[in-house]
Amino acid sequence: DTEVTQTPKHLVMGMTNKKSLKCEQHMGHRAMYWYKQKAKKPPELMFVYSYEKLSINESVPSRFSPECPNSSLLNLHLHALQPEDSALYLCASGHRGEAFFGQGTRLTVV
């Protein structure tokens, strides 16, 4: 099973809303990632968790707050987003050389 599952698949939220994106993997990977991707561009790394600890924060604004409750789950809490934050948010997990991505959450901020 090389699946990374993300929910929801689509999300529309207002600029004053609070929402969360969820990611789950059962491959035993100890590294998990959040990426943001704009249309036809490569993904941009946001956060890396290694062994459930935040190891990289790519200077992401505080309106994005990651959380890793356990080794299988990764959340991204969203608050007071801007329209320019609309994008495809991708979760990935990795082990050694492999890095597997979920199908993403398409987020629209209105």
Among 11, 43, 85, 87, binds another protein (CB under 8 A): 43
Which 54-93 positions form the footprint of another protein (CB under 8 A)?
55-56, 88, 90, 92
98-101 and 87-95 strand pairing:
antiparallel
Please tell me whether residue 99 binds another protein under the rule CB under 8 A.
yes
Please tell me whether residue 45 binds another protein under the rule CB under 8 A.
yes
DSSP codes of every residue in the chain: ---EEEE-SEEEE-TT-EEEEEEEE-S--SEEEEEEE-TTS--EEEEEEETTEEEEE-S--TTEEEEEEETTEEEEEEES--GGG-EEEEEEEEETTEEEE---EEEEE-
Among 40, 62, 83, 84, binds another protein (CB under 8 A): 40
Among 68, 94, 107, 109, binds another protein (CB under 8 A): 94
Cβ–Cβ < 8 Å for 32, 93 = yes
Q: What character string, x for contact with another protein (CB under 8 A) and - otherwise, covers 3-32?
A: ---x------------------------x-
Instruction: Please report, as ranges, the residues that interact with another protein according to CB under 8 A.
Output: 2, 6, 31, 40-43, 45, 48, 50, 55-56, 88, 90, 92, 94, 97-104, 106
